[in-house]
């Protein structure tokens, strides 16, 4: 009986084991990448092991030699890794652009008008407080406010957090006429939890960041990592990114 079972087992075709893919990504991709990982697991049985970091942390980790199969980053870091031959140039794909959005608390007593640059400025000056993450959109916003000539007026009523999740939680539980800022995907991910996306920054002052993904030259399983890069270009995955707020 045991011999028959052994012969049968040897005769059966081998079933490939599910693979784990290590991904090191900018935190801005989390709203879309979380859903992509779930769908990828359903479609292939393979699992993404994603570690997120803000831009400064990501640069330090990559610069420190942390190993990963897939890197997802903005152009500065990605181009540096391509120049250093750390990314396979033929396995490098564009994912989308992320813009900055304006948010308020659901049920807030006001709806800021951001339809033009001047109305955007007046809405900020009339708000009780301004909330954003630093680093994050706040790095750009503080320079923008200075250029618009309202930096000094906003300083005293600005609340800064280190992460977008803290901004969103603050806004959901806040009070009065507060205006918050985060990336549009981050806001959309939190809609239904007490915050509302008013809209993107006015076009002439919008700031977008592009993101791409690439297979590292020291990937532990390069073939599986390359297959995932191809998967990122499928219509279903592009739809996930678009729904999450990526252009």
Residue 4 pLDDT > 80: no
Residue 114 · residue 44 · CB < 8 Å: no
Tens of pLDDT, residues 196-247: 999 999 999 999 999 999 999 999 999 999 999 999 999 999 999 999 999 8
Q: What share of the chain is helix, strand, coil (3-state, %, to 5)?
A: 45, 30, 30
Residues 115-138, mean pLDDT to the nearest whole number: 94
Q: Is the dihedral of CA 139, 149, 185, 247 positive or negative?
A: negative
Query: Tokens standing for 227?
Result: 């297959």
Coil, strand or helix at 231: helix
Coil, strand or helix at 90: strand
Give the C-alpha distances (Å, rounded to integers) separating 84 from 80, 81, 205, 235.
6, 5, 33, 31
Q: What are phi and psi of 203, to 5 degrees?
A: -55, -40
Query: Tokens standing for 82?
Result: 């391509």
178: Cα within 13 Å, side-chain hemisphere: 23
- Burial zone of 112 (CB within 10 Å; 0-12 exposed, 13-18 middle, 19+ buried): buried
Please, what is the average pLDDT of the chain? 91
Q: What are phi and psi of 43, to 5 degrees?
A: -80, -35
| pLDDT of 6 | 41
Nearest to 28 by CA among 139, 170, 178: 139
Helix axes 75-83, 55-63, angle to 10 degrees: 10
The full set of domains in the chain, from first to last, is 15-97+210-244 (3.40.190.10), 99-205 (3.40.190.10)
Mean pLDDT lowest among 4-18, 86-100, 210-224:
4-18
Q: Is the dihedral of CA 54, 142, 159, 127 positive or negative?
A: negative
Between CA 237 and CA 198 the distance in angstroms is 26
Residue 23 · residue 220 · CB < 8 Å: no
């Amino acid at each position: 009986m045991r011999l028959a079972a052994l012969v049968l087992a040897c005769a059966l075709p081998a079933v490939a084991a599910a693979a784990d893919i290590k991904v090191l990504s900018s935190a801005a991709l989390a709203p879309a990448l979380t859903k992509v990982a779930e769908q990828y697991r359903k479609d292939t049985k393979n699992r993404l092991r994603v570690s997120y970091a803000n831009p400064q942390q990501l640069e330090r980790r990559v610069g420190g030699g942390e190993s990963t199969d897939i890197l997802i980053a903005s152009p500065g870091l990605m181009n540096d890794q391509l120049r250093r031959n750390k990314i396979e140039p033929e396995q490098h794909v564009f994912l989308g652009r992320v813009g900055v959005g304006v948010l308020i608390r659901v049920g807030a007593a006001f709806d800021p008008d951001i339809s033009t640059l001047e109305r955007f400025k007046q809405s900020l000056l009339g708000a009780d407080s301004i909330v954003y993450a630093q680093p994050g959109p706040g790095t750009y916003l503080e320079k923008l406010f200075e250029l618009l000539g309202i930096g000094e007026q906003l300083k005293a009523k600005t609340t800064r957090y280190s992460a977008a999740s803290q901004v969103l939680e603050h806004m959901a539980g806040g009070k009065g006429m507060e205006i918050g800022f985060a990336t549009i995907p981050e806001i959309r991910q939190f809609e239904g939890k007490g915050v509302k996306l008013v809209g993107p920054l006015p076009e002439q002052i919008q700031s977008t960041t592009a993101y791409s993904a690439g297979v590292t030259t020291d990937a532990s399983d390069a073939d599986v990592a390359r297959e995932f890069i191809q998967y990122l270009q499928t219509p279903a995955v592009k739809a996930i990114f678009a729904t999450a707020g990526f252009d």
